[in-house]
Amino acid sequence: MKLAALPPLEHLQSLWLELESRAEPSFFQSWAWIGPWLRLICPARIARLLTVSGDGRLLGIGVLTTRRRFLGLGPRHLRLHETGDSALDDLTIEYNGLLAEKGLEREVLAATVSYLARAHPRWLTLNLPGIAIDDALLARLRGIGLETRLRKSDTHHVDLAALRSAGSAYLPALRSANTRSTLRRTARRLAGRHGAVRLVAARGARERLAFFRDMVALHQVHWTGSGNGRGAFADPRILRFHERLITESGEDAGAQLLRLDAGDATVGYAYNLVRRGTVYFYQAGIDYARFGDCGSPGLLLLGEAIQWALERGHDRFELMAGDGRFKRSLGMARGEMAWLSLDRRGWHSRLRKAWRSLRGSAPA
């Protein structure tokens, strides 16, 4: 096992892609995400490459960043595939983790935490954001002797392969009669007022970029105008990241941009990420000012996107972390994702625990 400076990205890419061929990564663990992140988001000066080897081959790989708080004078914090800069980490990585050979994911993660705790003593906290974790793995990590802080989030998805096997379309299979009614009513209103409803997929990098930019405009107008925040694309560095990812995507993998039309009018856009039969819903932009009175245009857009993925042979549609009402309405199965922090025991961690307790946010 080794923690070292990053090699040239061309060399790292070859290592990463070779291990990908023996792994089952999510999109966020693949080079399609990690490559643009390293080129455009993650400062090279804070990045370290972690590699796990055995039996003469690479078994695991990941990028840890190291950052100190309090003007660079505080204790060191390590993060897996995040920078520690809140503006940049608005990318919101999910289904994160070390890239590991298939079947060795638990062993690689547990061995990595043990190695970092033993061989690299000059850090206080190791942050593992947006990872899949179960009770057995959590028990192994706790057994290493670190304090654990855990925040869990529900995830929702649709098993498209099961629907296909049952010979069912998506809408009739939804358990909620209210959701089915809302989707049908919204489609009728849009069609009656504006024209036939249809879903259009962008073709080629130029059209995907055009769809993306129009989606960003709608997304930002909605979020900044509603007072709910600044939106997911406020930082120009994040825009450059997504444009790079979109440009490097192929027709069947990577960024997928869909547009929902009603007659000649554009209702909204969905931005998905696709890898090996799984479609991850990432963001959307809806023209609520024009179509909000037609019902639930955002819900309809995602319902149409799920049906579109079903018809094109995908196996799973991920609505990602969060327990929002629209995810509960559209999802047909539930999972969990964790944001895990591991702290060394000592006065730093005791002080932090006391501070959190005073604020009413004691660690889990």
What does the pLDDT read at residue 347?
Answer: 45
* pTM for the full predicted model: 0.92
The band of 348, judged by pLDDT with boundaries at 50, 70 and 90, is low
- pLDDT at position 235 over 50: yes
Reported as half-sphere exposure (CB side, CA atoms, 13 A), residue 83 has a value of: 19
CA gap 218, 288 in Å, rounded:
9
For residue range 274-329, what is the model confidence (pLDDT) as tens digits? Answer: 999 999 999 999 999 999 999 999 999 999 999 999 999 999 999 999 988 999 99
Two tokens, residue 341: 């922090």
What does the pLDDT read at residue 135?
Answer: 85
Q: Are 109 and 96 spatial neighbours (Cβ–Cβ below 8 Å)?
A: no
Two tokens, residue 266: 């554009």
For residue range 168-210, what is the model confidence (pLDDT) as tens digits? Answer: 999 999 999 999 999 999 999 999 999 999 999 999 999 999 9
The band of 352, judged by pLDDT with boundaries at 50, 70 and 90, is low
DSSP per residue, 126-142: EEEEEE---HHHHHHHH
- In the chain, which residue ranges form alpha helices assigned H by DSSP? 9-20, 31-40, 105-119, 135-142, 160-166, 170-173, 177-194, 204-226, 236-248, 288-291, 297-311, 325-330, 347-358
What does the pLDDT read at residue 224?
Answer: 82
The per-residue pLDDT of the chain, averaged, comes to: 92
- pLDDT at position 361 over 60: no
CB atoms within 10 A of CB 134: 10
For residue range 11-37, what is the model confidence (pLDDT) as tens digits? Answer: 999 999 999 999 999 999 999 999 999
Closest CA to 149 of 349, 334, 347, 335: 349
**DSSP summary character for residue 300:** H
Q: Are 326 and 129 spatial neighbours (Cβ–Cβ below 8 Å)?
A: no
What does the pLDDT read at residue 18?
Answer: 98
Average the pLDDT over each of 42-51, 152-161, 221-230 and give the range with the smallest value: 221-230
